[in-house]
Structure 1
């Protein structure tokens, strides 16, 4: 058995494969004859509810929101120069997907930085756009939750950084 985690109802958490959700309750449920204690996590934007056994939450990578210094570092990452490897797109896409699903805010910011295109640059492929939007969504949701602002405000802050980088 893993150690019991310290998450509480009404707390915002990050679940690696889905991003920011809110623990709505902790419930007991019988599964295959075993009594399990589960975190009930709501992802309002996705209209999804996830139940995670309390003793497995940290094993699956569930974590609290990033502390302000990690958010600051993620925002600084956005200001950096895009690093695009010369590998085939399918390999790069797998790496981007892994970074997005890692739940690591800085890795997600790297994906946003690397896939961002301003108006003068070449058009993005459909799959590039999908990965970019998934990463941007995860980044802005966590930024909004950490700074207690709405997602539009968080998106505006990210856009300003990306645009200032393009102007430089």
Structure 2
């Protein structure tokens, strides 16, 4: 059972903190909702408590998993699919999974792809979404501010091209 103050990840939206549990009526039905505040833009999200497992709500990663995320960002990617549509759909599925390591793979792969050949508008949006999700979780996992985590991730790519 999640509680007020817990740091959680909501797939496709990123990490946040449970600020409250409130009862609301939506479409004529009263139920309890987790109220999350997201570090990116301070957005507030309501998630029905009874659907928390179905939507993939999970706790934020711990310190050993932060190290694994860094390893993913520094590892050379597997051969990427040249077909834009298949690559886009595979990346979207990874983001939707809510798995931080798969989200980190998407960030790594798209940032590297952008270095080789500029990303299309669709892939640029996908990179922005994946990076926002990754950064929001690392902000809460590392107790750092947004700007320093973004700079840290960008720095990983400047100092160390995966696979070198």
Please indicate the TM-score interval, normalised by the length of the shorter structure: 0.7 to 0.9
Q: State the superposition RMSD in angstroms.
A: 2.3
- TM-score, length-normalised on structure 1? 0.84
* CA-CA distance at 1:119 after TM superposition: 8.3
Q: In the alignment, is the contact (CA less than 8 A) between 2:5 and 2:17 conserved in 1? A: yes
Distance 1:67 1:162, change over 3 A: same
Determine if the alignment matches structure 1 residue 158 to structure 2 residue 158.
no
**Greater relative contact order (Cα 8 A, min sep 6): structure 1 or 2?**
2
Which residue in the other structure is 1:117 paired with?
112
Determine if the alignment matches structure 1 residue 11 to structure 2 residue 11.
no
Which residue in the other structure is 2:125 paired with?
130
Local SS of the residue matching 1:7: coil
Structure 2: gaps of 5 or more residues: none
Determine if the alignment matches structure 1 residue 72 to structure 2 residue 41.
no
Distance 1:92 1:120, change over 3 A: closer
* CA-CA distance at 1:46 after TM superposition: 4.3
Aligned residues: 163
Which residue in the other structure is 2:101 paired with?
106
* CA-CA distance at 1:117 after TM superposition: 3.4
Distance 1:32 1:129, change over 3 A: closer
Structure 1: gaps of 5 or more residues: 1-5
Local SS of the residue matching 2:117: coil
Which structure: larger Rg?
Answer: 1
- TM-score, length-normalised on structure 2? 0.86
* CA-CA distance at 1:77 after TM superposition: 0.4
**Deviation digits for residues 11-65 of structure 1, max 9, x if unmatched?**
2211012111221210123456654221112235345332222222122100110
1-structure distance, mates of 2:4, 2:106 = 31
